[in-house]
Structure 1
Amino acid sequence: MISVAVVGCGAIGGVVARALHEGEVVGARLAGVVDPNGTRGLPGMSLEEALAAADLVVEAAGQAVLADVGPRVVAAGRDLLVVSVGALTDDALLARLHGAGDGRVHLVSGAVGGLDMLRSAARMGPFETVRIVTTKKPAGLVQPWMSAAEADRVRATDRPLEVRRGPAREIAAAFPRSTNVAAAVALAVGDWDVVEAVVVADPAASLTSHVITASGAAGEYRFEIRNRPSPDNPTTSQVVPYAVLRAIGDLAAPSGAFR
């Protein structure tokens, strides 16, 4: 039985913590929730208390929180499960996580699939091209760095609009709540520079879609994922907390078998 602390109690962390509290993950139990904004009636604790009590700390609070909390978790010798993988575009943060201590860092696939195949293909040989096109409703793609005119253009579009295109590292940093998937793909293929990311606003997009195409020594690949957005936070997909719970279950009771 592993003890799990969850940092963040929003659309992702709240679902994860509740499931752990109710015993829905075999081999894992909730130590508590770290969130100064409230814990939805779940047991609350400070980060210091979490580091003393938990075997595994789940980060579900965003890229800025990961940058602050992640190295402290690893330095304390606790394992860290990262949801906000887009923060790993920062090489300095990666270095801090690698050198912080004895804790292990695990990544969650979140709202995207096919990463196991991309990892396998990359091991055979480098990719020549990789592209991920993410399409969401316009409101969730408006960012603080946009000019007023650009933000209005995104909000008011009545047809699919390409908001931004660029290297995965750049796009994941520019859309921190919407493009963790671009970072996940880049980490899977092991090359930030080869992955191009495209963000599209579509007012008719009832589902959030990610289309991944890749070509390399092992062959050609195309994956399309269409997820329902979270009713609590449309910038994330509803499936993400369940990907986190799956990852916790695998860490709690690794068997190599399907259950």
Structure 2
Amino acid sequence: MKVAILGCGAIGSVVAHAVRDGGVPGAELVGVVHAERDDPPGLPVLSIDAAIEQADLIVECAGQRALAELGPSIVASGTDLLVVSIGALADDALLASLRDTGPGRLHLCSGAIGGLDVLAATARMGGVSAVRIVTTKKAPTLVQRWMGEDVAQQLRTATEPVELMRGPAREITAAFPASANVAASVALAVGDWDLVEATVVADPNAPLTSHVITAEGSAGDYRFEIRNHPSAANPATSGVVPHAVLAAVGRLAAPTGAFA
């Protein structure tokens, strides 16, 4: 399976090097598409058109805006697309264009969390009545452009945990596009954006990034707690994310014996 990587930052660079070096059996790197001024050393660089022409699978690691701009043309060309920036799919029109038009297939990466398969099974069995996710990250990594300077400075100098926002998953995902993809993943797993209540907490002393997911439904009650080390290259994301991407690529390249 020929693979191109869209984006070569903290996530994409790890994925690209691993695929290039044979770390995913059955997958071959054809190149990376990136917007930075300088090309990444040691990696072949492609235009998006060349990537679409040469790759069987394009792995999006470039953020929500890039996915919205380039994703529809990728699947329309017949090339499969693996999405990391799940939060962009809060846009119903974008989700429909990626999922329903084809002929390329849309694949979603679980990223920094687990338990999505159980949530999806529970929703299918008889529905869920309540789903909550609380995401806690180091305070400075949650500063957003829409915040006033006074709020941003409070986060940079905070000494105690602060609940920044609570609301429906769609709202939280839009407000924290680099930090709340997990809320979008949970909403997509249960099939209901309005049911999922998401909370973002800024904790200056948090040694790990945590996601606590609770769900109640006819199949039972569930609680998942995930505590990830932040990425050394980009503390706004978790270090495990590129390896979740590689696992997803591996399942697509050689699916025999892998969890679906």
Return the TM-score normalized by structure 2. Answer: 0.97
Contact 2:214 2:223 in 1 (8 A): yes
Residue 211 (1) aligns with residue 250 (2): no
In structure 1, distance between residues paired with 2:155 and 2:40: 34
Q: Secondary structure at the match of 2:119?
A: helix
In structure 2, distance between residues paired with 1:100 and 1:64: 20
Shift of 1:65: 0.2
Where do 1:185-224 residues align within 5 Å? 185-224=186-225
Partner of 1:12: 11
Residue 81 (1) aligns with residue 119 (2): no
Amino acid at match of 1:151: A
Greater mean deviation of Cα atoms: 141-150 or 17-26: 141-150
Partner of 1:55: 56
Shift of 1:127: 1.0
Q: CA distance change for structure 1 residues 24 and 173 in 2, over 3 Å: closer, same or farther?
A: same
Q: Secondary structure at the match of 2:243?
A: helix
- Give me the CA root mean square deviation: 1.0
Shift of 1:161: 0.6
Shift of 1:255: 1.0
Shift of 1:189: 0.7
Where do 1:1-259 residues align within 5 Å? 2-37=1-36, 38-257=39-258
Q: Deviations over 1:108-134 (max 9, x none)?
A: 000001111111111111111100000
Structure 2 alignment gaps of length 5 or more: none
Shift of 1:154: 2.0
In structure 2, distance between residues paired with 1:168 and 1:71: 23
In structure 1, distance between residues paired with 2:147 and 2:240: 28
Shift of 1:56: 0.2
Amino acid at match of 1:33: V
Contact 2:251 2:258 in 1 (8 A): no
In structure 1, distance between residues paired with 2:162 and 2:140: 12
Q: Secondary structure at the match of 1:245?
A: helix
Structure 1 alignment gaps of length 5 or more: none
Shift of 1:59: 0.4
Amino acid at match of 1:194: L
In structure 1, distance between residues paired with 2:174 and 2:2: 32
Contact 1:72 1:100 in 2 (8 A): no
Contact 2:15 2:246 in 1 (8 A): yes
Contact 1:209 1:224 in 2 (8 A): yes
Taking every aligned residue pair, what percent have the same amino acid on both sides? 63
Q: Deviations over 1:117-159 (max 9, x none)?
A: 1111111111111000000001110101111222122222211
Contact 2:60 2:84 in 1 (8 A): yes
Q: Deviations over 1:185-227 (max 9, x none)?
A: 0001111110000000001111000000111111100000000
Q: Secondary structure at the match of 2:150?
A: helix
Contact 1:165 1:199 in 2 (8 A): yes
Q: Secondary structure at the match of 2:247?
A: helix
In structure 2, distance between residues paired with 1:100 and 1:73: 11
In structure 1, distance between residues paired with 2:41 and 2:93: 34
Q: Secondary structure at the match of 2:227?
A: strand
Amino acid at match of 2:75: V
In structure 1, distance between residues paired with 2:121 and 2:98: 24
Q: CA distance change for structure 1 residues 82 and 201 in 2, over 3 Å: closer, same or farther?
A: same
In structure 2, distance between residues paired with 1:25 and 1:201: 36
